[in-house]
Amino acid sequence: MIFNTFAYYLVFLLPAAILYRLAPASLRVWVIVVFGSAFFLYFSYSMAGIWGALCLLIFLWESIISRLYRPRSRWCIVGILQSVILLGIFKYWNFFTGLAFFGRTDLIRWQGAFLPLGISFFTFEFYHYAWDRKANKTEAGTLGEYLAFILFFPTMVAGPIKRYEDFLPKLRKEPTAWTLDWERGITRILIGLVKKFAVADLLTAWTDHLNVHDILIADRRVLILWGLAYGAKIYADFSGYSDIAIGSARLFGIRVPENFDWPYGRRNIQRFWQSWHISLTRWLIDYVYIPLGGSRVSTPRIYLNIIVVMLVSGLWHGAGINFIVWGLWHGLLLAGHRLWRRFRGDPSSNPVAVFSSRLLTFVLVNAGWPFFCMDMNTATLFYRRLLFG
């Protein structure tokens, strides 16, 4: 991962953060643009060669047409559609063509398929800007400000997903004192690195080597421990990356959204998703759930909207049937929780009831992780062995 490399810190982060603070106000956004472009070119080329590096043209094209976005403009629709199409082509072409043609895709399969660096995150930011410009919820900003928004490299790879209306005032504001920002930023980066190296990587050495043979011969207790270990690993891994991104942004004097807030301690699945990958949850609510009608529609439609949102969440995480099933699992949990509250009201504040609800939420969330990290055949075998021995 990029955040584990010396190049990230010594070539990009520290020089960019120092120059950003030293540069005149009129040039600060261009410091971000130059370093963000260089960051994308360097790591894209190292991962996918020249074709990966050329994907920088996506940013340039998006930036050009973003200058045409006006409230209720058709160009905003173009921006929204191109964001969906870009993500669809690069991330889902082979998956959906495989479904449509039952796997017989020799003529239409993209043999050289690759994922541009950070595409899942920056296309959501493209989409958000076009949508909000259409609804007149955010100002256009200058070309430099928009480029700085999408090329801000600390959040490009693993989020958090930014909002333009939140990010723009921070670009225009004079950076706060170096001492406080750098103390807290470096501390946050170190916390993220500890999570990554001392927890996630150690657990990965065990969790990522589980295969069909291991599942067939493993004791049920080993499978339970594996599931719990993977739950701890993915939390430490993803929240660690978020910590590094948030800490990196703080070196610039810029605060980006928090992404995790102790999700495993929450007392129901709704509160879990309000604390897990927070920027994605809020994005899905604003740009999928509410446009579908949110909670203003009939009761059956509300439950359907919830499930659709989580199916989108599953697909966003990965192109595979297993991710769809994982999203469906969480959609059903959220719909079930809403139905429970409708008939039983707010949960009891009794300490035993609170503990039980927290434990149940923890178990249900961790029970879904095998769908997230295994193909469907392996996950099915895992659950069969876990439930029936």
Is pTM, for the whole model, over 0.75? yes
Token pair recorded at residue 224: 């339970």
Q: Is the predicted pLDDT of residue 114 greater than 80, yes or no?
A: no
**SS3 state at 209:** coil
Rg (CA), the chain: 22
Percent of the chain with pLDDT over 70: 95
Longest dimension (CA), the chain: 67
In this predicted structure, what is the pLDDT of residue 96? 73
Q: What's residue 347's pLDDT?
A: 66
Residue 345 has pLDDT above 80, yes or no: no
Question: Would you say residue 107 has pLDDT above 80?
Answer: no
Q: How many Å apart are CA 128 and CA 146, to the nearest integer?
A: 12
pLDDT category of residue 103 using cuts at 50, 70 and 90:
low
In order of 65, 99, 361, the CA distances from 60 in angstroms are 9, 33, 44
Asked whether the beta carbons of 337 and 199 are under 8 A apart, the reply is no
Q: Which residue has tokens 């996506």?
A: 58
Give the mean model confidence (pLDDT) for residues 93-122.
68
- Binning pLDDT at 50, 70 and 90, where does residue 113 land? low
Contacts for 136-143: CB closer than 8 Å, 24+ residues apart: 136/71, 136/72, 137/165, 138/163, 138/164, 138/165, 138/168, 139/165, 139/168, 140/66, 140/67, 140/69, 141/168, 142/29, 143/63, 143/67
Query: How far is Cα of residue 333 from the mean position of the Cα atoms in its chain?
Result: 20
Containing H/E element for 172?
helix 164-172
Contact 85, 127 (CB under 8 A): no
The pLDDT of residue 4 is above 60 = yes
pLDDT in tens, 40-58: 999 999 888 898 889 999 9
More confident of the two residues 213 and 243: 243
Q: How confident is the model at residue 387 (pLDDT cuts 50, 70, 90)?
A: confident
Q: Which residue has the tokens 């958090």?
A: 160
Q: Residue 349 pLDDT more than 80?
A: no
Please compute the mean of the pLDDT values over residues 353-381 and round it to a whole number: 93
pLDDT digits (tens, 9 = 90+) for 243-284: 999 999 999 999 999 999 999 999 999 999 999 999 999 999
Q: What is the average per-residue pLDDT within 4-9?
A: 92
3-state secondary structure of 175: coil
> Counting beta carbons within 10 angstroms of the beta carbon of residue 377, is it exposed (0 to 12), middle (13 to 18) or buried (19 or more)?
exposed
Locate all alpha helices (DSSP H) within 23-104, ordered by sequence: 25-54, 56-66, 74-87, 93-100
**pLDDT, tens digit (0-9, with 9 covering 90-100), for 329-340:** 999 999 999 998
Q: What is the pLDDT of residue 116?
A: 87
Average pLDDT rounded to a whole number, residues 105-130: 78
Active site members? 317
Domain boundaries, the chain: 2-105+114-173, 175-260, 263-389
Question: For all residues of the chain together, what is the average pLDDT?
Answer: 90
pLDDT one-digit tens code per residue, 147-179 = 999 999 999 998 899 999 999 999 998 887 788
Determine what percent of the chain falls in helix, strand and coil, rounding each to the nearest 5: 75, 0, 25
pLDDT class of 286 with cuts at 50, 70, 90: very high
Mean pLDDT, to the nearest integer, of 302-322?
Answer: 94
